């Protein structure tokens, strides 16, 4: 399928030959990326956070409003839920690599709501356009286990549409025909829900069970990353 002029893909902006741990070079190069049209309305590119040699990498969907303004992933409300879940799972948040499948914030503005910017799910074309960044950064970090947070991230990591309920919490092999097949060291993928899905359950029945399930999935991934 030919690429749209607005979505040529990020490949031409990804530096060749990025070495292990060379995440900073990738992050710097990403500021110039015009792989899809999302850069036009975003404040800035939001690349990643965490150690460049982490054994466990977490991949979300895209930056949110606060992440777009601050330039860091998972610093908004969903990020706080994720931090709490990592803590409950006994995972050191400082030892985890955090990134997103799509590096710019896709949103719509609602003038009637004080110009509030509302999240809009990225299209498959946006995920495909941004995939070279995800492949390059994971090749640089070389985590043992990648956690896909939500269906958009799962599609990016596994290379196909994924039903979260059918595979969540399982330690999956990297698909031989998937985008991570050629990434060194990545042995397994764990799929779970995105922490933003829990925000809709605040102060409602179902929160405790949903949070416990997320904690359990993160614990499974952490044990797999340790080889346990």
Pick from 193, 224, 19: nearest CA to 201:
193
Average pLDDT over residues 154-159: 96
93-126 residue pLDDT tens: 999 999 999 999 999 887 665 567 888 999 999 9
Span 84-99, average pLDDT? 98
If you write DSSP's letter for every residue of 77-131 in order, what string do you get? HHHHHHHHHHHHTT--GGGEEEEESS-S--EEEEGGGTSEEEE-PPPHHHHHHHH
Domains and CATH numbers, the chain: 10-225 (3.40.470.10)
Residue 190 host element (H or E): strand 188-192
Span 130-151, average pLDDT: 96
Question: Burial, 22: exposed, middle or buried (Cβ in 10 Å; 0-12, 13-18, 19+)?
Answer: middle
Answer yes or no: is pLDDT of 88 > 50: yes
pTM, entire model: 0.94
What is residue 42's predicted lDDT score, i.e. its pLDDT? 96
């Amino acid at each position: 399928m030919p690429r749209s002029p607005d979505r040529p893909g990020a490949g031409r902006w990804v530096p060749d030959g990025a070495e292990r741990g060379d995440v900073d070079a990738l992050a710097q190069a990403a500021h110039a990326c015009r792989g899809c049209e999302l850069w036009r309305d975003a404040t800035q590119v939001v690349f990643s956070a965490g150690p460049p040699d982490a054994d466990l990498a977490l991949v979300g969907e895209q930056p949110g409003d606060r992440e777009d303004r601050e330039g860091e992933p998972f610093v908004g409300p969903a990020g706080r839920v994720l931090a709490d879940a990592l803590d409950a799972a006994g995972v050191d948040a400082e030892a985890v690599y955090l990134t997103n499948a799509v590096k710019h914030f896709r949103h719509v503005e609602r003038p009637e709501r004080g110009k509030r910017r509302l999240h809009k799910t990225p299209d498959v074309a946006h995920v495909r356009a941004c995939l070279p960044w995800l492949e390059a950064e994971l090749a640089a970090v070389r985590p043992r286990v990648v956690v896909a947070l939500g269906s958009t991230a799962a599609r990016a990591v596994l290379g196909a549409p994924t039903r979260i309920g059918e595979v969540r919490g399982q330690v999956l092999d990297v698909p031989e025909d998937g985008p991570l097949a050629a990434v060194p060291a990545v042995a397994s993928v764990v799929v779970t829900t995105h922490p933003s899905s829990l925000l809709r359950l605040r102060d409602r029945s179902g929160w405790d069970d949903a949070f416990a399930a997320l904690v359990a999935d993160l614990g499974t991934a952490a044990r797999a990353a340790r080889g346990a």
